[in-house]
Amino acid sequence: MNPIVIIGNGISSVAAAEAFRKHDKDTPIVIFGDEPYYAYYRIRLSGLIGDTPNLDKLYIRKPEWYRDLNIKVNLNQKVISIDPANNEITLENGNTFYFSKLLIASGSSPFVPPIQGKELAGVFSIRSMDDVITFNDFISDKTQGAVIGGGLLGLEIAWSLAKKGKKVHVIEGAPHILFKQLDETAAEILTDLGKKANINFIVQEQLNKISGKEKVTDIQLGNGETIPVEFVVFATGVRSNIDFVKNTSIQSARGIVVDEYMQTSVKDIYAAGDVAEYKGQVYGIWPVAQEQGKTAGLNMAGQKISYSEVVPSNYLKVFDVEIYSIGDLCKDGKPHDTIKSYSNNIYRVVFFKDNIPVGAILFGDVKPAIKISKAIKARTKISDKIIKSQDFEGFLKECDGN
């Protein structure tokens, strides 16, 4: 019997293997990962900057978990091609491997724009455990650097660096930091907190060039400003790892196109996580990757279960404040209503379309997150009275159906 093969070793892979094993105890499962580590919490990496990573605390599942479930994990083995017609994959070392069903959960890689000087020593992107280890070694005696990108990862990296006493410049091309996750008000409050942590924010500006002979000495911005720095970290987004399917019958666009069962255009080949494109979207966030992996695993085990769409959400803790953002923040310019509440550095806003909550930002108090996310997914109708009176507590009661 040819095994179930999983390409990639992240949260989608773990969720898929776990779901599959609940319904099929016997079919061999083989995972191929290109890192030397079992699947770990990648979302915690930025918090390890300047510290020594503890693998035992980072593993999603301990190595014995795989052994107990008869899951073979091949580390440091990169898959470079897939032959769908013959149910075969090829590894970088030249070995080939047959499968009965295949899950592609190969994740994503950092996108680094084609900036002059990006090849200099001192230029980094952080996506893996080894990236963190290499970066930590380099910055141990450095005092000042730049983070390119003011999104989730960029701010987490900047905060970790600031806590280690580094002077940090954050360069963001959008009108404000966390442009996809926050509105202008929340971004302004967060920026003020970041400045108190010795972080310099430069928005609506682009990196033009990185300078230095062999290592980084400064950066130049589009407006001509030069900033002396000893290192540069790119946090400018990711791209799905789909190169090995581009010359196959597996359909891909930004990611590998999947249906509601996480199956690709080829029967018995599935995709999940950062590499999967569902209804034209590649979300690249943990909760989506986990649910997609679970769905793929169940269907590979013959359960015929449709993917239950996860409303995209993000949780962030930087500058000693918690932030939660979910759904549609109504940045398309179309008519919408809001309920806003702001006091004592706690800012909360809910966005509505036709009296139905579609998105929310919770800044400084994330306790209502689960209740609001359920209301958004359930498309709970909220009364005109509550919305017009800006009654946030009343809104939460109506979320409960009270």
- What is the tally of structural domains in the chain? 3
Distance separating alpha carbons of residues 37 and 46, to the nearest angstrom:
17
315 domain residue, yes or no:
no
Residue 226 and residue 285 share a domain: no
Residue 226 and residue 127 share a domain: yes
Q: What is the pLDDT of residues 103-161, one digit of tens each?
A: 999 999 999 999 999 999 999 999 999 999 999 999 999 999 999 999 999 999 999 99
Distance separating alpha carbons of residues 402 and 400, to the nearest angstrom:
5
Rama region for 11: left / alpha / beta (φ>0; ψ in -120 to 50; rest):
alpha
Does the predicted TM-score (pTM) go above 0.85? yes
Residue 204 and residue 133 share a domain: yes
Domain interval for residue 151: 123-234
Distance separating alpha carbons of residues 397 and 402, to the nearest angstrom:
5
Domain boundary among 204, 234, 264: 234
114 domain residue, yes or no:
no
Mean pLDDT score of the chain, rounded to an integer?
A: 95
CA distances from 99 to 4, 9, 19, 82, 102 (A): 6, 17, 18, 10, 6
144 domain residue, yes or no:
yes
Q: What is the pLDDT of residues 343-373, one digit of tens each?
A: 888 999 999 999 999 999 999 999 999 999 9
Residue 258 and residue 216 share a domain: no
264 domain residue, yes or no:
yes
Residue 243 and residue 228 share a domain: no
206 domain residue, yes or no:
yes
Residue 340 and residue 242 share a domain: no
For the beta carbon of residue 92, count every other beta carbon within 10 angstroms.
Answer: 12
Domain boundary among 195, 214, 234: 234
313 domain residue, yes or no:
no
343 domain residue, yes or no:
yes
CA dihedral of residues 171, 177, 179, 182 (deg, nearest 10): 170
Q: What is the pLDDT of residues 8-48, one digit of tens each?
A: 999 999 999 999 999 999 999 999 999 999 999 999 999 99
Q: Has residue 71 got a pLDDT over 90?
A: yes
295 domain residue, yes or no:
yes
Q: Has residue 402 got a pLDDT over 60?
A: no
Residue 272 and residue 224 share a domain: no
Q: Which two tokens stand for residue 389?
A: 């009176």
Residue 169 and residue 85 share a domain: no
Residue 242 and residue 221 share a domain: no
Q: What is the pLDDT of residues 369-397, one digit of tens each?
A: 999 999 999 999 999 999 999 999 999 99
Question: What CATH number corresponds to the domain at position 385?
Answer: 3.30.390.30
Determine which of 88-102, 141-155, 206-220, 328-342 has the lowest per-residue pLDDT on average: 328-342
* β-pairing verdict for 88-91 and 96-98: antiparallel
Please, which pLDDT band fits residue 66 given cuts at 50, 70 and 90?
very high
